[in-house]
Chains A and B, each alone.
Chain A
Amino acid sequence: MLLLIQYTLLFASILILVALGGCFAEHSGVINLGLEGIMVIGALGGALMMRYLPSGTSAVAIILLVVLASTLSGLLYSVLLAVAAIHFKADQTIVGTAMNMLGTAAATVIVKALNTAANPDDVSSTVQYVEEKAAFIVNIGGFEFNWFMVFTVIALIASYITLYKTRFGLRLMACGEHPQAADSAGINVYKMRWAGVLISGVLGGLGGIVYITAGVSEWKFEYGVAGFGFLALAVMIFGQWKPTRIALAALLFGLFRALSNVYFGFDFLVNLKIPSGVYNMLPYIISLVVLAFTSGKSRAPKSEGIPYDKGSR
C-alpha cells in the first residue's frame, strides 16, 4: 500500500510538472505537442550530469546540478518550438511531432556515441545512475520520499501565483485569449509567447528527469518516455488548464499508472488474473474515457495554436 502511494505521488509529480509546462505554453497561445521530446532531452541532460559528476559530490550539489542540467536542456530544446511557431508561423502540430521524433533520435544517437567512445563494445543507449539517484531519496520508514515531490509542490504553487496573481501571468493569459487586444494594450505578444514556451521547456525538462528516475536506476534512451508527454496533455485538458485542477487530475492518472508497477503487491488484484498488459494500458484507456467526458465544454485558451500576425484583425 505504501508502495502504491509512493508511486502514485511520483507519477503524479511528473504529470503535474509537464502538464503545468503545457499549461503555460497554451495560455500564451502556443500548443506544445513537443512536450514528449522536451522530456526526453531534459532527462538526457540530467542523466548525463549524474553520470559525469565526480563520485564524492554532496547530495545537495547533486540535486541542484541535476535539476539545473535538465531544466536547462529542456529550455534550450524548447527554443526549436518557439522560433518555428512564433516567428515562422509554422504548423505547431508538425513541429511538435518533429520535436518528439527528434528528441528520442537525438538522445539515442548522443548516448550511443558516448557509450561507444567510452567502451568500443558498448553499443547500448543506456545511461546508469545508481549511486547518484540515491541523493534524491529520503527513506522514511519504508516510504521512499523523493525530493522531486517538493520541487513539484513548489512549481505548482509558483505556477498558481504566477498565472493568477502577477501582472506577468495575467498578461500571458491575455495573449492566449485575444492577442490583438493584448497588443493594443501595449503587451508584446511575441515576448509573452516566448516566455510561455520557454517555461514549458523548463517544466517539461524537469518532468523528464523525474520520469527516468522513478523506480529505475538506468534508462535506455531508445524507449523515449512512452507517451507520458501526451498523458500530461490529457491531464492538462482534464484539469481545464487550471493548476489546482491539474494537480487533482494528475493524482488520479498517477494512481492508474502506479497500479501497473505495483499491482502484484495486492492479493485481490493478482487473484483477478488480469494480464499485465491490461495494467499497462490502463492509464491510456482511462485518459480516453475521461477526455471523452470532459472535452465537450472545453476551457481551452481561445487563440491557442493560431500564429499571431500583427497585421491581421
Chain B
Amino acid sequence: MKKNFLKNSIVQSILTSLICIVLGMIIGFIVLLFINPAGAAEAIISVAKNFLTYNSANMQLKYLGNTLVKTAPLLMCALSVLFSYKVGLFNIGAAGQYVVGACACLYAALAWKWSWLPCMLLAVLAGAVFGAISGILKSYFNVNEVISGIMLNWIGLYSTNMILSNVKEAASPYTYQLTAAGEQALLPTLGLGALFNKNQYVGLALPLSVLMAVLIWAILAKTKFGYELKATGFNKNAAKYSGMAEKRNIILTLVIGGALAGLGGSLLYQTGYEQWQCTHSSLPAMGFNGIAAAFLGGLNPIGTIFSSFFIQHITAGGAYVDKTMYCSQISDLISAIIVYLCGFVGFFKYAMNSRIEKSEAKAAAKEMGKEAAAENKKGGKE
C-alpha cells in the first residue's frame, strides 16, 4: 500500500518541492554559517518565522496580512510563468509585464482619476500587450522568448520610470500616495482587513488571485483550449500536424500570461501598500520570484497558491534577520537556490521511481519465494 502512495504523481510533486525547500534552507544556513557562525541558527529561524517573530497575536495577524498583500501579486506572476510553461514557453518577461501593469494602473489612477476597475483592466491590457509582442516575435520571427522577454523587461522598466515621473511627488522619487491622490482607484477591501487586525491593505486582491488560480487550473484541466495548449507544449509538430493552430496558441498563451502578470501589478499597487519609485534601476523581484513560486508549486495552479505564500513568507522573513550580521537578501539567495534545485525535479522523480521499482521487484521476488516455500510445506524461516 505504501508503495502505491509514493507512486502517486501529486505526492511525488509535493515531496520533491519539500526536498527543494529543505535543501534550499540547509544551503542558506551553510552560507550564513560562513558569514558569521554566531547568529546563523537564529537568522535562519527568523527567515522561516517571518510574522511569527511578533509575540502578540494582533501583531502577528497584522503582519500575516502584509505578507498576504504581497502574496497576491506574486501568485499572479507565478501563474503567468506557469501558464506559459505549459506550452513550452519560459515567460521570464513576467517581471516586465508586472511593471507595465503597475505603470498603467498608477498612471490612470493618479493622472486621469479613473476608478479601480478601469485602472485594473488597463493594467491587464498593458501586460497583455507586452506578452503579445513576445508572442508575435516568437511565432513569426523565431525570436527566443527568454531573450525578447528580458529586453522587454528593461524597456518596460525605463518607460515606466519615465511615465510615472509625471505623477510623482516633487520632493521624492516616489509617485503620489494612492490614499491621498487617487482614493477612487483603491481596490475594495470587502471588509477583509478586519480579519487581520484592521490591516487596510488586505482586500479584493487576495480572493481574486486565488480565484484566478482556480480559473487557470480549470482552463488547463477541463477545456479544449487548455488541452491544445498542453499538446503544443508536449510536441509542437505533433500538435500542428493534428490541426492545432500552434502559432495562434503561442501568441494567445503569452497574451494571457502577460495579462496575468499585468493584473499582478495592479493587485499590489492599487492596494496603496507601496508607491512606485521612479528611480528604480533594477526590476522589482516580484516577477523573478514568480518563477521560483511556479516551479516550487510543481507547475500546478493550486500548488502555486501555497508555494507563492511560502516564497513571500521567506522573502518577508528576510527583513527580520539581525542586520548587524546579515542582510535581508539572504532570502533572495534561498529562493534562488530553490529555483536551481527545481531544475533537478526530473532527476528526483526519476530516482524516486527507480527506487520504488527496485523495492517492488525485490518484494515480488520475496513473495514468489515465500509461495514456493509454502508449496513445499517447509515453512518460511524469515
Contact = CB atoms under 8 A, between A and B. Distances in A.
B346 A298 contact: no
B174 interface: no
B329 interface: yes
Contact of B151 (A97, A108, A123, A230): A230
Nearest to A221: B329
Contacts of A116: 324-325, 327
A101 B154 contact: no
Contacts, number: 151
Nearest to A124: B327
A151 interface: no
Interface string B51-77: 000000000000000000000000000
A284 B143 CA distance: 14
A97 B291 contact: yes
B344 A84 contact: yes
A280 interface: yes
A91 B346 CA distance: 9
A95 interface: yes
Given A223-B281, A277-B158, A280-B158, A287 B151 contact: yes
B227 interface: no
A311 interface: no
A275 B36 contact: no
Interface string B272-292: 000000000110000010011
Nearest to A120: B324
B343 interface: yes
A75 B329 CA distance: 24
A285 to B, nearest CB: 6
A108 B146 contact: no
B265 to A, nearest CB: 19
Interface stretch (B195-203, B251-259, B334-342): B334-342
Contacts of B158: 277-278, 280-281
B323 interface: yes
A21 to B, nearest CB: 15
Nearest to A103: B336
Contacts of B142: 295-296, 298
Contacts of B327: 108-109, 112-113, 116, 123, 125
Contact of A33 (B146, B151, B295): B146
A262 B153 CA distance: 23
Contacts of A88: 343-344, 346-347
Contacts of B162: 275, 277-278
Given A90-B344, A116-B325, A234 B147 contact: yes
Nearest to A288: B151
Contacts of B324: 116, 120
Contact of B336 (A98, A280, A296): A98
A95 B155 contact: no
Interface string A231-252: 0011001000000000000000
B141 A90 contact: no
Contact of B141 (A102, A109, A123, A296): A296
Contact of A113 (B35, B346, B347): B35
A215 interface: no
A277 B161 contact: yes
A291 interface: yes
Contacts of B144: 237, 295
B325 A90 contact: no
A291 B141 contact: yes
A268 to B, nearest CB: 21
Contact of A94 (B147, B337, B339): B339
A246 to B, nearest CB: 15
Contact of A284 (B154, B161, B292): B154
B143 A291 contact: yes
Nearest to B330: A109
A111 to B, nearest CB: 9
A80 B336 CA distance: 13
B336 A102 contact: yes
Interface in A101-160: 101-102, 104-106, 108-110, 112-113, 116-117, 120, 123, 125
Interface string B160-186: 011000000000000000000000000
Contacts of B155: 281, 284-285, 288
Nearest to A293: B141
B150 A101 contact: no
B278 to A, nearest CB: 10
B321 to A, nearest CB: 11
9 contacts: A101-B288, A116-B325, A227-B150, A227-B154, A278-B158, A284-B151, A285-B155, A288-B152, A296-B142
Interface of A: 33, 80, 84, 88-91, 93-95, 97-99, 101-102, 104-106, 108-110, 112-113, 116-117, 120, 123, 125, 222-224, 226-227, 230, 233-234, 237, 275, 277-278, 280-281, 284-285, 287-288, 291-293, 295-296, 298
Given A91-B343, A222-B282, 18 more contacts: A84-B343, A90-B343, A94-B295, A97-B339, A102-B336, A102-B337, A106-B336, A108-B329, A109-B31, A116-B324, A123-B323, A125-B327, A226-B282, A277-B159, A278-B162, A288-B143, A288-B152, A288-B155
Which 9 pairs of residues, A with B, have the shortest CB-CB distance? Answer: A98-B340, A90-B343, A102-B336, A101-B336, A98-B339, A105-B332, A277-B162, A230-B150, A112-B327
